[in-house]
Structure 1
């Protein structure tokens, strides 16, 4: 029986590596890591663990067609290129995304999962015009939906893993503090446990996309573990760690795309309030979402506990 290959973009990053780990553990599908630099240390580690690593550059469609041949499905992420450029002004996420979609069609891919985002310019009625990386992800998502490929998109909130990858959680003389740009203590964020639940959502979509009764293709699925204020997350973190964890509002960075992104998330309560938590469409596909308490106990306490 032929292997059911899933080509994974961003394979050495948080999302892609989580998807690869989950696919390996489950065993139904065979992950293939797509990377610009197969000689990089992170790519070599994947290769040494038995994962096929193939060179492919999202700004070079020809390289992608070769990289994707033989794949049943694709998991794709695109990445902002700073300084951000509008369509037609230079390399950007629209170029990346359209190249991957076009290459997937040419290579005979059957199903395409994309990590998209809603356009903040659209949501805000033009109030926030500079968050181009969100706007461009929506352009790619719409292009994917019109491509003829069976497809699904995931919309993510603030990564819970940002507590240590950014890092948001910083030591103070009395404990820890969260400092978040343009957020007040009462502003709500949508939080996503990327490693656990984005990968779980990807696996569920892959296992169900061939069933027409599931009505998957063309849908966008918010992957959200909780809609709560950062200040509440700080309190919960303090309880888990047994120490004081405070919240403060950080000043703007002076970069319009980033400052407006945080302002929009704060103003619109993380962007996904129309979808219940946990997402019932993903729950129906078998996704069992983790809780904030589980995340703090299993991920934060080992890293920050005494």
Structure 2
């Protein structure tokens, strides 16, 4: 699909300097089918200036400032929406998401792609706020596709620790050693978004769960050991031990992390068939094995220097 700049439909990308939004900007610019409007609170930041240098139209947008959202969405065909509860909390995130949907409807957005999370069977604040926004979007009348994110490779790497052990290293991860975790590479988000945007007849009103792999801590550390040619064994953590974590005097992880993992490992609704769907939709999505091999030096450094 190629045509003059003036005829290209414009996609507004929220969180354009973040991991998911930055991926969407990158993939859409590489594809060339859309004019990319990169939204950020600070248009003078180094990351924003780099986006402009790469060919994006960089526009200021604050999700707490409704007029700025209206201006950012004006004239756009589509929007990639993403919010974070980690900056201001789930209540603020919920309102920001409502603001995005409200403005999308007012501006006549024809395809709103929303990065979300599914609600668990028990309260998890960062999941609940995302799902509330998703429900609001579905009832708004805005044409949408919901992208449900599995655990990302990047967040997995941030939560693992390697310690010296006789004959090699031992990997610690507060997840039952043989429990599988659904995952995908957040840097590939743009590949899925690009494919969905170019196939609206298949994806409007639908949900795509972004998942390319299932991996247990034992498998993860085995892959990292194979890639780095080091002996890495997983520290053993049974399901029973995992379930006792919240009652420890000094839990190794925050309760919300523990709740999130509990949901991921106990959720029978994870659609494993979505792996094939995701591979067919975006064949170049990187596998966990390839990602580990490509990043093994950085992964080893981060895991052996967790406070860096």
Residue 222 of structure 1 is matched in structure 2 by: 209
Residue 93 of structure 1 is matched in structure 2 by: 93
Q: Normalised by the size of structure 2, how large is the TM-score?
A: 0.82
Would you say 1:207 and 2:198 are equivalent positions?
A: yes
Q: In 2 relative to 1, CA 235–205 (structure 1 residues): closer, same or farther, beyond 3 Å?
A: same
Aligned pairs, number? 283
Q: After superposing the two structures, state which structure 1 stretch, 248-257 or 74-83, moved more.
A: 248-257
| Distance in 1, Cα, partners of 2:63 & 2:170 | 38
Deviations 1:219-239 (A, max 9, x none): 111111111212111111211
Task: Within 5 Å, give how 1:1-306 maps onto structure 2.
Answer: 1-81=6-86, 84=89, 91-120=91-120, 124=121, 128-129=122-123, 131-164=124-157, 166=158, 168=160, 170=162, 172=164, 177-181=170-174, 183-196=175-188, 198-209=189-200, 211=201, 214=202, 216-248=203-235, 252=251, 255-268=254-267, 273-280=270-277, 282-283=278-279, 285=281, 287-300=283-296, 304=300
Q: In 2 relative to 1, CA 66–277 (structure 1 residues): closer, same or farther, beyond 3 Å?
A: closer
| Distance in 2, Cα, partners of 1:189 & 1:303 | 18
For structure 1, list consecutive stretches of 5 or more residues without a partner in the other structure: 86-90
User: Normalized per residue, which structure has more strand?
Assistant: 1
| Distance in 2, Cα, partners of 1:38 & 1:225 | 34
For structure 2, list consecutive stretches of 5 or more residues without a partner in the other structure: 1-5, 246-250, 302-308
Q: In 2 relative to 1, CA 63–176 (structure 1 residues): closer, same or farther, beyond 3 Å?
A: farther
| Distance in 2, Cα, partners of 1:178 & 1:114 | 34
8 A Cα contact 2:177 2:216, kept in partner:
yes
User: Normalized per residue, which structure has more helix?
Assistant: 2
Q: In 2 relative to 1, CA 299–37 (structure 1 residues): closer, same or farther, beyond 3 Å?
A: same
Deviations 1:192-242 (A, max 9, x none): 11212x221101100011x3xx2x222111111111212111111211211
